[in-house]
Structure formats: C-alpha cells, structure tokens
C-alpha cells in the first residue's frame, strides 16, 4: 500500500491553499506523448486497433489540454464538467475517490480545495500532494480501516470512475460496469455523512434499473448526465446522487 503525504502550501493568513498539477506532471505528460509519436512513426506499434486508439488519443483535444495543464488524464475534465453542472466539489470536506488511477480526479479534488482526500485503486498511483493513496481493494477490511482513518470522519463525497476491462461485447461490458457502480453506491450508502453526495460512472443501457431505484431510495435527488468532455461515441454517462438520507438499510 502507498501512504504519501507532502506539505500543503499556506498563505500568510494560515489557511490552506491547494496547488494545481505541477510542472513535473505536465512535463511527464508531454514526454510520454512525444515518445508515443516516435513509436508510431517508426512502426513500433503494429497492431491496427492499438495504432487507431493511440492516434485517436493524440488527436483528442481534451488529451492535449490535459497534457498542457498537467492533469494525468483527460478524465479530469469530466469531473470539472460535473462540478460545474452540479456543484459536486463545493465546500467539500472529505472525499473518497474509488478507482482513482492514474489520479486525475484526485488532482482535481486537491486543486479545488478538498480538505481530506483518499484515493484507492488496485493499481499503483504516483503520489499526489496532500492526498492519501491506497493500493488495494475497497472490499478489504484493512484498506477500509485505513481509508476511514485518513479521512478523519465520514466522507461528504464519494466518487467512482471505475470501469471493468472491456470485452468488446457491449452488453457484457455494460453489466460489468453496472456491477461496479452498484458496489460503489453501496459503499456510499454504508459510509456517507448525512447530506453527502455521490457520483459514479455508468454505461447507457437497460441493466441499471435496480441501481437507480437504490439511489432514489437513499438520496434526495438523482440525475444522469453525459459531460461534454465524454467522447461522443462512448456509452458512458454519470449518475449523480445528491443529498444522502438516513435510511433503515444503513
């Protein structure tokens, strides 16, 4: 597991101020893009599907913007869009970022001033200033204990950008993503502070009726939305659940 914390910047009034992505993050992103372009030109990537995906990435304006800004992935703009639409990050105190790799949502959270942020993923994530990162499974009791300890209280916001590895079969991919979303919403129901908010990735399709019913029962307002930064051809959208309520199932 990884537990990386660095000093937070302070102004003269003693209040914490959060820095955006570092120059080092931006430089790493630019170097990665440059090296990828060289590999394509030299024929180092021969699989047709891989070449098509990489070329799409290189031509994606959000990928370029993310690299220039120092965000670790274009997904940062999805969270920024969601915040602009629903005010998810306004006055956020304690946040859990489920499936946080490679860390762009955690970067946004720190840049927007969240007080305590815990990110967890099965994959390792490079340190992010001020965030507590865990390499582990959200269903692991030890990982759960570490998360709650680092937050110093119940989370006021739970985010999930988790998605299962795609199989190429749309219905199978949809079902697997809905299962992850159901796991995320159950985590939120079990742990959120009353009045807290939740947001998870879902795929458009017909297998999310139970998920919506569960959110409707436990939150004051539930909406589905596809951010402008989400690729037009992607079936992904986001379920946003606002105002967690005390329920008997808790």
Active site residues: 201
CA dist list (Å): 14 to 42, 116, 194, 210: 53, 17, 29, 47
Structure tokens at 8: 């937070």
Contact status, residue 136 vs residue 1, Cβ threshold 8 Å: yes
Buried b vs exposed e over 154-163: b needs ≥16 C-beta within 10 Å? Answer: ebbbbbbbbb
**Is the peptide bond prior to 121 cis by the omega test (within 30 degrees of 0)?**
no
CA dist list (Å): 8 to 15, 16, 114, 116, 155: 10, 7, 12, 12, 20
Contact status, residue 139 vs residue 184, Cβ threshold 8 Å: no
Cα separation, 3 vs 194, whole angstroms: 28
Cα separation, 213 vs 22, whole angstroms: 41
Contact status, residue 107 vs residue 94, Cβ threshold 8 Å: no
């Amino acid at each position: 597991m990884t537990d990386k914390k660095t000093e937070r910047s302070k102004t003269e009034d003693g209040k914490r101020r959060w820095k955006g992505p570092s120059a080092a993050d931006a430089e790493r992103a630019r170097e990665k893009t440059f090296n990828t372009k060289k590999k394509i030109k030299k024929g180092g990537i021969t699989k047709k599907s891989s070449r098509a995906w990489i070329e799409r990435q290189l031509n994606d304006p959000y990928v370029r913007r993310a690299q220039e800004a120092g965000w670790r992935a274009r997904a940062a703009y999805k969270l920024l869009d969601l915040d602009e639409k629903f005010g998810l990050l306004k006055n956020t105190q304690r946040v859990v970022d489920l499936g946080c790799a490679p860390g762009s949502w955690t970067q946004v959270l720190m840049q927007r001033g969240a007080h305590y942020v815990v990110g967890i993923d099965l994959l390792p994530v490079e340190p992010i200033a001020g965030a507590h990162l865990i390499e582990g499974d959200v269903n692991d009791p030890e990982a759960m204990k570490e998360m709650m300890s680092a937050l110093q209280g119940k989370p006021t916001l739970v985010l999930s950008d988790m998605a299962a590895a795609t199989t190429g079969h749309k219905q199978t991919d949809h079902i697997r993503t809905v299962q992850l979303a159901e796991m995320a919403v159950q985590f939120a129901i079990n742990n959120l502070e009353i009045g807290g908010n939740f947001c998870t990735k879902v795929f458009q399709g017909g297998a999310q009726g139970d998920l919506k019913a569960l959110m409707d029962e436990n939150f004051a307002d539930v909406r589905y939305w596809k951010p402008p930064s989400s690729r037009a051809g992607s079936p992904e959208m986001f379920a946003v659940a606002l105002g967690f309520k005390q329920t008997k199932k808790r």
